[in-house]
């Protein structure tokens, strides 16, 4: 009701936020949530390769709204003065919607003609429930991976001299010393908590979303990429050209990545489900299983404890 | 209209047909109907600098309301300035510089829409004071999104701010119980020096961003020192209204100043551990250790020299 009233107050007689003529269609947005180091770059690269698709690489809009709403001001939800207060949720969700649609239209004008926009947003997964509520027509991929492998991958990534340091250097900064080096067990605990926060909220959004959606495990994607991709498109109800899909899968396969770009400390590390057994100490495995236990049991019931 | 009456009226209006009546209004300038952006007065600075007191005096005047810490500045500022690192210039980041036009509009609507929904009584006119000290980090973005709005830059000696913050978070204080329930970790705890350092750093972040917004803002604005407000409240308030170019009824202003004066606060509501503690400029000399003074002065040195040149380094005098 408040949202409708604000539209009237604005007095433009316009359709809902961001749905102006020539804009990006909300139903053509495909969100990819989960958490970092789950294969979202790989999956979005396969999808982005196909004609009619564009890829938005980590806008962080989920982090923008989710961080204040769930973490820093989570206690103020019922306070009617709070800008993201529950009483005015319809109103500010409208703004969230406009943020996404206007920004998408400005960056990807080609999508306005009816193409699809893959929004790779693993690091904004905390805000997934808000985004899916603001854009209920959009489609959603929940990409999950065994938390022990996710933590092991992050542990490697944050050591000295790895690809994350190179990334920071490109941005003009030196990577500060990481807990991954000085206190690895504490780092592991922090990463496990982050997994629970991100995947937990993404799962909440997935369960609540009444639209087109699909849950994908990284392990299935590795075991049978082409068939898992077919399942994704079927779940999202998006037609795809078989030959084009097969070509894209082949192009982005692990085997096609040059050997010198793979290995420890590199962005493409080992892509080996269960590799955590070689990477984590028994104590670290116990930490992850302790923190992420409920999600682990829900998503990986067969092998939830080591 | 007293603040209590205003709140009751607001509740009654929100429960009824107010939204329809808002839709009938027209600004006549193509501007979205609702609270007029030029009638918004931001109070930026930092927490524990007297913003509640200043906001309450202004809210008491007829035709005014106060939006108490929406945190909209915190929402955008904390993220944009501290969390995204080097991504600002890139194509992908949602608040990317080159796509500013696409997000300043929704940001503006978020404030104006939120204001209209919460303060329907102001739609025909009147002023909305947005007390946002803890959202000051986003003040440059907000003032850019709402350039017609007016701005108060409220500043207080950082040593008194740190002393007040430490007291507010001490065991059994007004804030500690609330924060305990919220599992916050930024209370002084055992290491008071670490807390002093952290609070001084947040002071610098907030005041520097407020100063940046204040300098860039070409509209009506005024800078106020808490110490001047304490020393001569009525005349400082006159200066505030003059700077903001808002006409004010002298008698009404004097009444509001009197009503909200320190002396009129009941004794049992004042003192250590309470929200109203001592309101004594320079009280930090009694509250902080020499080490804590040194920490705060080192971190805030440029700001102390700029805004408090007479007492910028007082550690030796302790």
The predicted complex's ipTM stands at 0.87
What residues in B contact A31, CB-CB < 8 Å? Answer: none
The rounded mean pLDDT for chain B is 86
Which A-chain residues 258-287 have CB contacts (< 8 A) with chain B?
none
Q: Indicate if the pLDDT at residue B11 is higher than 80.
A: no
pLDDT value at residue B276: 77
The pLDDT value recorded for residue B170 is 72
Query: What residue ranges define each of the domains in chain B, with the CATH number in brackets?
Result: 3-317 (3.40.50.300)
| pLDDT confidence bin for B181, thresholds 50/70/90 | low
Q: Is the pLDDT of residue A215 over 80?
A: yes
| Closest chain B residue to the Cα of A95, Cα to Cα | B106
- Is A68 at the interface with chain B, CB within 8 A? yes
Average pLDDT over residues B16-25: 34
- Whole-number average pLDDT of chain A: 90
Q: With 60 as the cut, is the pLDDT of residue A219 above it?
A: yes
b/e per residue A152-175 (b: at least 16 CB within 10 A): bbbbbbbbeebebbeeeeeeeeee
Query: Does pLDDT of A19 surpass 80?
Result: no
The two three-digit tokens of residue A258, written as one number: 């040059």
pLDDT per position as a tens digit, B52-97: 999 999 999 999 999 999 999 999 999 999 888 667 677 899 999 9
Mean pLDDT, range A247-263, rounded to an integer: 89
Average confidence (pLDDT) over A137-163: 93
DSSP string, chain B: --HHHHHHHHHHHHHTTHHHHHHH---SSSPPSSS-GGGEEEEES-SSSSHHHHHHHHHTSTTEEEEE---HHHHHHIIIIIISGGGTTSSSSTT-GGGHHHHHHHHHHHHHHHHHHH-GGGTTS-EEEEE-GGGGGGHHHHHHH-TTSEEEEEE--HHHHHHHHHHHTSTTSHHHHHHHHTT---S-TT-HHHHHHHHHHHHHHHHHHHHHHHHH--SSEEEEEHHHHHHSHHHHHHHHHHHHT----HHHHHHHHHHT-GGGS-GGGBSTTSSB----TTTHHHHS-HHHHHHHHHHHHHHHHHH-GGGS--GGG-
Chain A residues with CB under 8 Å of B94 CB are 59-61, 64, 99, 103
Is there a contact between A5 and B114 if contact means CB atoms under 8 Å apart? no
Q: B116 and A9: CB-CB below 8 Å?
A: yes
Given a cut of 70, whether residue A18 has pLDDT beyond it is no
Q: Is the pLDDT of residue A132 over 70?
A: yes
pLDDT of residue B9: 52
Do A83 and B72 lie within an 8 Å CB cutoff?
A: yes
Is residue B168 scored above 90 in pLDDT? no
Residue A14 pLDDT more than 70? no
The confidence score (pLDDT) of residue A268 equals: 83
Give the pLDDT of residue A271.
80
pLDDT at B3 over 70: no
Averaged pLDDT for residues A17-39: 84
Per-residue pLDDT tens for B210-240? 999 999 999 999 999 999 999 999 999 999 9
User: Which CATH code, of 3.60.20.10, 2.40.50.140, 3.30.360.30, 3.40.50.300, is assigned to A2-299?
Assistant: 3.40.50.300
Are residues B79 and A63, on separate chains, in Cβ contact within 8 Å? Answer: yes
Mean pLDDT to the nearest integer, B107-112: 96
A81 touches chain B (CB under 8 A): yes
Quote the pLDDT of residue B253: 98
pLDDT at site B4: 62
| Crossing angle for the helix pair A89-107 and A2-10, to the nearest 10 degrees | 60
A243 has a pLDDT exceeding 80: yes
pLDDT above 70 (res A252): yes
- Give the Cβ contact number of residue B218 at 10 Å: 8
The whole-number pLDDT of residue B30 equals 46
Nearest to B22 among A1, A5, A106 (CB): A5
Q: Between B128 and B311, where is the model more confident?
A: B128
Between these two residues, B312 and A45, which has the higher pLDDT value? A45
Q: Dump pLDDT digits (tens) for A264-281.
A: 887 888 888 999 999 999
Number of Cβ pairs < 8 A linking chain A and chain B: 132
Say if the Cβ atoms of A95 and B78 lie within 8 Å: no
Residue of A nearest to B21 (CA): A9
Average pLDDT value for residue range A139-143: 98
Residues of B with CB under 8 A from a CB of A: 19-20, 22-23, 26, 32-34, 67-72, 74-76, 78-79, 83-87, 91-95, 99, 101-103, 105-107, 109-110, 113-114, 116-118, 181-182
Closest chain A C-alpha to B226 CA, distance in angstroms: 24
Q: Which range has the worst mean pLDDT, B23-27, B287-291, B305-309?
A: B23-27
Confidence of residue B19 (pLDDT cuts 50, 70, 90): very low
pLDDT at A29: 97
In which band, very low, low, confident or very high, does the pLDDT at A208 lie, cut at 50, 70 and 90? very high
Identify the pLDDT of residue B267. Answer: 76
Provide the pLDDT confidence category of residue B188 given band limits of 50, 70 and 90.
Answer: low
Are A135 and A100 in contact by the 8 Å Cβ rule? The answer is: yes
- What proportion of chain A, given as a percentage, has pLDDT over 70? 92
Express as a percent the part of chain B with pLDDT over 90.
Answer: 67
Mean predicted confidence (pLDDT) in B155-183: 78
Of residues A164 and B122, the one with the higher pLDDT is B122
pLDDT at A23: 82
Residue A297 has a pLDDT of 95
Query: Chain B residue with minimal CA distance to A98?
Result: B106
């Amino acid at each position: 009701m408040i949202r409708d009233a604000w539209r009237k107050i604005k007095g433009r007689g316009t359709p809902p936020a961001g749905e102006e003529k020539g804009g990006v269609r909300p139903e053509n947005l495909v969100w990819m949530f989960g958490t970092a180091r789950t294969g979202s770059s790989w999956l979005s690269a396969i999808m982005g390769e196909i004609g009619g698709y564009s890829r938005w690489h980590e806008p962080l809009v989920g982090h923008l709204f989710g961080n204040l709403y769930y973490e820093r001001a989570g206690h103020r939800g019922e306070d009617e003065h709070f800008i993201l207060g529950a009483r005015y949720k319809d109103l500010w969700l409208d703004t969230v919607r406009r943020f996404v649609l206007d920004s998408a239209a400005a960056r990807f004008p080609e999508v306005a003609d009816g193409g699809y926009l893959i929004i790779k947003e693993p690091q904004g997964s905390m805000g997934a429930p808000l985004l899916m509520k603001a854009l209920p027509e959009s489609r959603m991929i929940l990409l999950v991976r065994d938390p022990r492998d996710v933590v092991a991958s992050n542990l490697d990534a944050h050591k000295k001299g790895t690809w994350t340091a190179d990334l920071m250097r490109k941005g003009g900064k030196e990577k500060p010393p990481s807990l991954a080096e000085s206190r690895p067990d504490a780092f592991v605990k922090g990463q496990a908590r982050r997994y629970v926060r991100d995947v937990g909220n993404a799962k909440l959004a997935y369960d609540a979303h009444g639209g087109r959606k699909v849950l994908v495990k990284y392990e299935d994607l590795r075991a049978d990429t082409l068939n898992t991709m077919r399942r994704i498109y079927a779940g999202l109800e998006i037609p795809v050209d078989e030959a084009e899909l097969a070509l894209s899968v082949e192009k982005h396969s692990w085997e096609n990545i040059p050997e010198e770009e793979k290995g420890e400390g590199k962005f493409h590390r080992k892509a080996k489900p269960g590799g955590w057994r070689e990477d984590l100490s028994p104590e670290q495995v116990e930490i992850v299983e302790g923190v992420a236990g409920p999600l682990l049991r829900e998503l990986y019931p067969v092998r939830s404890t080591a | 209209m007293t603040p209590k009456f205003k709140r009751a009226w607001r509740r009654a209006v929100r429960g009824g047909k107010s939204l329809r009546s808002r839709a009938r209004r027209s600004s006549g300038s193509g501007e979205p109907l609702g609270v007029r952006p030029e009638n918004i007065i931001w109070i930026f600075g930092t927490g524990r600098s007297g913003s509640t007191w200043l906001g309450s005096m202004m809210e008491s005047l007829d035709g005014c309301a106060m939006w108490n810490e929406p945190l909209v500045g915190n929402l955008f500022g904390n993220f944009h300035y501290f969390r995204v690192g080097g991504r600002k210039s890139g194509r992908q980041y949602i608040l990317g510089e080159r796509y500013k036009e696409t997000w300043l509009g929704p940001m503006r609507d978020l404030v104006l829409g939120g204001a209209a929904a919460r303060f329907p009584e102001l739609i025909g006119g009147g002023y909305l004071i947005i007390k946002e000290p803890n959202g000051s980090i986003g003040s440059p973005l907000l003032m850019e999104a709402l350039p017609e709005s007016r701005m108060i830059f409220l500043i207080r000696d950082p040593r008194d701010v740190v002393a007040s913050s430490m007291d507010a978070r001490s065991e059994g204080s007004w804030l500690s119980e609330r924060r305990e329930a919220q599992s916050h970790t930024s209370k002084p705890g055992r290491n008071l020096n670490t807390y002093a350092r952290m609070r001084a750093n947040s002071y610098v972040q907030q005041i520097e961003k407020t100063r940046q917004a204040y300098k860039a803002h070409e509209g009506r604005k005024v800078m106020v020192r808490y110490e001047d407000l304490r020393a001569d409240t009525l005349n400082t308030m006159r200066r505030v209204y003059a700077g903001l170019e808002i006409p004010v009824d002298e008698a009404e202003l004097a009444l509001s100043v009197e009503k909200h004066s320190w002396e009129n606060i009941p004794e049992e509501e004042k003192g250590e551990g309470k929200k109203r503690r001592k309101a004594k400029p320079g009280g930090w000399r009694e509250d902080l250790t020499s080490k804590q003074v040194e920490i705060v002065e080192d971190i805030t040195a440029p700001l102390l020299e700029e805004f408090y040149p007479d007492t910028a380094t007082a550690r030796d005098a302790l």
